[in-house]
Amino acid sequence: MLKGKTALVTGSTSGIGLGIARTFAAQGAQVMLNGFGDFEAPLAELRQTGAKVVYHGADMSRPEQIADMVRACEAEFGSCDILVNNAGIQHVALVENFPVERWDAIIAINLSSAFHTMRAALPGMKARRWGRIINVASAHGLVASAQKSAYVAAKHGIVGLTKAAALECATSGVTVNAICPGWVLTPLVQKQVDARAATDGVTDDEAKRRLLQEKQPSLQFTTPEQLADLCVFLCTDAAKNVMGQAWAMDGGWTAQ
């Protein structure tokens, strides 16, 4: 489905981003990976598909590194056709206890980074008259939970950014959309499962069940593979008139 396309996926050394990068490579796209931690293993794995896959270690809280990453993608592949803004972090605390440094980091990584990648990638996409930008928001881009003020603010912000950019791009061949996962069992969520198991004094399985029961009527985690298939769909011609949407895949979380 994605043969001949190039994709930059931020935060793709782990979790949802890695799932999206895997599927994109399997669908024939050339992929630039990004993120912290081990990148050699994902790089080697994705290269087995035969796709050209490279890595850039830009820190998504650093605008100048982000600009360098987009330039490197265009230089390496000749274009950046698909941009997935996925990198993200979480911190859980009451507003009055929220460390200022965590607030700033969440806004920078979960929201401002998407502005910086988009401003760098859009001129090339518009000039080639084809582009797909997918912002990984969250159910928390649509509704809130207590103790997640920075995350909820950033995710609501990215839904707004998505709409504004989609309108600017409406006649350009470039679409901009957000996807809104509910609970996905990645390292980011496992930390919250661990915290729940500790506070409630229950097993890992029971903590997962309680988290799901609170928010996600399907009682099933959304998977990175399901989200990746949604991203592939948004890259097809069938989706070329889908613009500025915040597309939930959340087991019914935001239908309540």
| Residue nearer to ligand NAD on the CB measure, 79 or 112 | 112
Exposed, middle or buried: residue 80 (CB in 10 Å: 0-12, 13-18, 19+)? buried
Minimum gap (Å) between residue 62 Cβ and ligand NAD? 8
Alpha carbon of residue 178 to chain centroid? 9
Least separation in angstroms between residue 110's CB and ligand NAD is 6
- What is the closest distance, in whole angstroms, from the C-beta atom of residue 138 to ligand NAD in the complex? 4
163 vs 240, which CB is nearer to ligand NAD? 163
Q: Do 85 and 114 contact (CB within 8 A), yes or no?
A: yes
Active site includes 55? no
* Contact yes or no for 9/228 (Cβ under 8 A): no
| Phi, psi dihedral angles at 58 (to 5 degrees) | -55, 140
Catalytic annotation, pick one of 151, 221, 247, 253: 151
How many CB atoms within 10 Å of residue 99? 11
Task: Single out the residue of 132, 84, 125 nearest to residue 237, CA to CA.
Answer: 132
Question: 189 to each of 29, 88, 182, 195, 235, how far by Cα in Å?
Answer: 28, 12, 11, 10, 27
Cβ-contact 12, 20 below 8 angstroms: yes
Least distance in angstroms from the C-beta of 156 to ligand NAD: 12
Residue numbers at the binding site for ligand NAD (CB under 6 A)? 11-17, 34-37, 59-61, 86-89, 109-110, 136, 138, 181, 183-184, 186-189
> Which residues are part of the catalytic machinery?
151
